[in-house]
């Protein structure tokens, strides 16, 4: 049986990640409080932000910005959207 967590973003029990997405306290917090679904949605959104805002991941300010946006996204707060992004019409 897979492990579940009370997902911070959706405020309900959902399947958990199988391992921390990165080392350290922030990774452990995500492992214990964020669902697979919310993490997958974040990684898609993060990619859109990097691409649409032309973020350079070697730039410390860009990494800080993404860390702030990740926290907001996974906590259900208002977060930045990618300029010009139009969701796919899935019919």
| pLDDT given at position 2 | 85
Element (H, E) at 19: none
| pLDDT given at position 38 | 97
| pLDDT given at position 83 | 75
Long-range CB pairs of 83-91, under 8 A, 24+ apart, other chains included: 83/52, 83/53, 84/52, 85/48, 85/52
| pLDDT of 1 higher than 70 | no
Name the band, by pLDDT with cuts 50, 70 and 90, for residue 90.
low
What CATH number belongs to 4-75? 1.10.3880.10
Give the domain ranges of the chain: 4-75
Per residue in 14-71, pLDDT (tens digit) is 999 999 999 999 999 999 999 999 999 999 999 999 999 999 999 999 999 999 999 9
| pLDDT given at position 82 | 80
The two three-digit tokens of residue 33, written as one number: 């409080």
């Amino acid at each position: 049986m897979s492990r579940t967590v009370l997902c911070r973003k959706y405020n309900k029990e959902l399947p958990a990640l199988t391992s921390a997405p990165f080392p350290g306290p922030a990774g452990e917090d995500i492992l214990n409080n964020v669902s697979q679904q919310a993490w997958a949605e974040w990684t898609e959104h993060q990619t859109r932000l990097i691409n649409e805002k032309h973020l350079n991941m070697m730039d410390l300010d860009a990494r800080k910005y993404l860390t702030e946006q990740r926290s907001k996204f996974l906590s259900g707060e208002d977060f930045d959207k990618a300029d010009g992004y139009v969701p796919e019409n899935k019919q």
